[in-house]
Amino acid sequence: MGKSGSSSAEEVWDDGREESARRDATRKDHFMLPFIDQVLEKLAGKSHYCFLDGFSRYMQIHIALVDQHKTTFTCPFETFAYIRMSFGLCNASSTFQRCMISFFSDLLEDCMEVFMDCFTMYIKSFEACLNNLSRVLLSLHGTEGIVLRHLVSTRGIEVDKSKVDIISSLSNLAFVWEVRSFIGHVGFYRRFIKDFNKIALPLSKLLQKDVDFVFNQPCVDALQELKKRLMFAPILQSLNWELPFELMCNVSNFTLGAVLGQRVKKKLHVITYASRTMDLAQVNYTTTEKKLLEIVFALDKFRSYLLGSKIIVFSNHVTLKFLLKKPDAKSYMIRWMLLLQEFNVKIRDKKGAKNAIAD
């Protein structure tokens, strides 16, 4: 449990009221638990059993850093937020059961039943029981695994190759719903694709209202480029909170892009990519305004990583370094400057030859 902030001594600890409000605001996860009667029927009549119990139950599951603030509760002198999944969260049981089933999916219905943190192995001979116990324990020693359609390992985060193979097998798209489905599936892995919005722009235009569906050559090129980027997606590195973060930002006529990385042994390793399309007003900004907008977008997108950390921003527009001191800036630029002051930012000139990104 981590400290979130401080509150006055006059506040009353009313965690029940806070939990009720949090429960009402949470989108419910209706993942079903196994029926107890069915579990008992499957287990009955076997000659040998092995019973295991999960250690710390829900507390084994870490809460994503960007979501920890949602678990904040108050007590008389402080406010706290959970860093691991607590028993009081309304979707905790569904999340835990789904996680356990994903771990042991190849053993269920064969030699094992899972009900929350209770694991039961069953068989009709002692030797087979020992063999199944070995299979269960070995499955917990994996050095990599698929989690939420991503492959995680000591190397970092990778795309699930089985999903990518399905996407890469698609031919040209003939209907709007096919384009929407393709962008949705590829967009799930957009953190692996540099300038995703820029590449997908010809396809995105087909989804606009009152636009004739013409799958022309730019659309074909965008389709093939996105499939290629997915097939050769980089391995995203796990972050190191002891190292400074580096931001590489870029802007085109219609899109913003950013790369978040960290330098390890003089080589920059990517943590994640981000991009978005500018609105009509932003498209008409001056070059300097767009350069500042791209930095604001990147800082806001990666806020959970960057707040409180040292940040080095690489930009190819020298005037940005002096823009913070400009006394007659427009109102929206002043708001951007105030946002920048929340972060420990240092702007450096962008020199492409010295900023090679490692996969």
pTM of the predicted model as reported, rounded to 2 decimal places: 0.63
Question: What pLDDT sits at residue 232?
Answer: 92
Same domain, residue pair 251 and 354: yes
Asked if residue 237 lies in contact with residue 156, where contact means CB atoms within 8 angstroms, the answer is yes
Mean pLDDT of 305-320: 80
Same domain, residue pair 40 and 116: yes
Number of domains in the chain: 3
Q: How are strands ordered across the β-sheet holding 48-53?
A: 48-53, 118-123, 112-115
Same domain, residue pair 167 and 250: no
How high does pLDDT run on average in the chain?
82
Q: DSSP secondary structure string, 43-71?
A: HTT-SEEEEEE-SSGGGGSBPPGGGGGGG
**Domain assignment present for 182:** yes
- Considering only residues 220 and 8, tell me which one the structure prediction assigns the higher pLDDT: 220
pLDDT digit string, tens, across residues 7-24: 433 344 445 556 777 777
**Domain assignment present for 351:** yes
Which among 117, 142, 167 is the end of a domain? 142
Which among 142, 171, 201 is the end of a domain? 142
**Domain assignment present for 354:** yes
Question: What pLDDT sits at residue 338?
Answer: 83
Q: Residue 209 is encoded by which pair of tokens?
A: 């209202």
**Domain assignment present for 147:** no
Question: What pLDDT sits at residue 359?
Answer: 39
Question: What pLDDT sits at residue 181?
Answer: 93
Same domain, residue pair 295 and 186: no
- Between the CA of residue 275 and those of 96, 150, 250, 252, 260, what are the distances in Å? 32, 20, 9, 11, 11
Side chain identity, residue 286 = T
pLDDT digit string, tens, across residues 241-284: 889 999 998 888 899 999 999 998 888 899 999 999 999 999 99
Same domain, residue pair 63 and 120: yes
Question: What pLDDT sits at residue 276?
Answer: 92
Mean pLDDT of 298-326: 79
Question: What pLDDT sits at residue 31?
Answer: 78
Q: Give bridge partners of residue 277 from the DSSP assignment.
A: 255
Indicate whether 322 pLDDT > 70.
no
Assign residue 263 the CATH number of its domain. 3.30.420.10
Q: pLDDT grade, residue 2 (50/70/90)?
A: low
Same domain, residue pair 227 and 249: no
Asked if residue 81 lies in contact with residue 72, where contact means CB atoms within 8 angstroms, the answer is yes
Same domain, residue pair 113 and 22: yes
Question: What pLDDT sits at residue 191?
Answer: 92
**Domain assignment present for 271:** yes
pLDDT digit string, tens, across residues 104-129: 877 887 788 888 888 888 887 888 88
pLDDT digit string, tens, across residues 143-201: 777 777 888 888 889 999 888 998 888 888 889 999 999 999 999 999 999 999 999 99
Same domain, residue pair 274 and 343: yes
Residue with tokens 């109102």: 331
Assign residue 60 the CATH number of its domain. 3.30.70
Q: DSSP secondary structure string, 161-225?
A: HHHHHHHHT-----SHHHHHHHHHHHHTTGGGSTTHHHHHHHHHHTTSTT------HHHHHHHHH
Indicate whether 305 pLDDT > 70.
yes
Same domain, residue pair 53 and 105: yes
Residue burial 90-108, b: 16+ Cβ < 10 Å; e: rest: bbbbbebbeebeebbeebe
Question: What pLDDT sits at residue 52?
Answer: 81
Give the C-alpha separation, 10 to 75, whole Å. Answer: 10
Question: What pLDDT sits at residue 136?
Answer: 80
**Domain assignment present for 266:** yes
**Domain assignment present for 148:** no
Least confident range from 133-137, 204-208, 217-221, 351-355: namely 351-355
HSE-CB of 49 using CA atoms within 13 angstroms: 12
Same domain, residue pair 350 and 262: yes
Question: What pLDDT sits at residue 326?
Answer: 67
Same domain, residue pair 257 and 344: yes
Domain that holds residue 94: 2-142
Same domain, residue pair 135 and 168: no
Q: Residue 277 is encoded by which pair of tokens?
A: 């399309």
pLDDT digit string, tens, across residues 30-75: 777 778 777 777 777 778 888 888 777 788 788 888 888 888 888 8
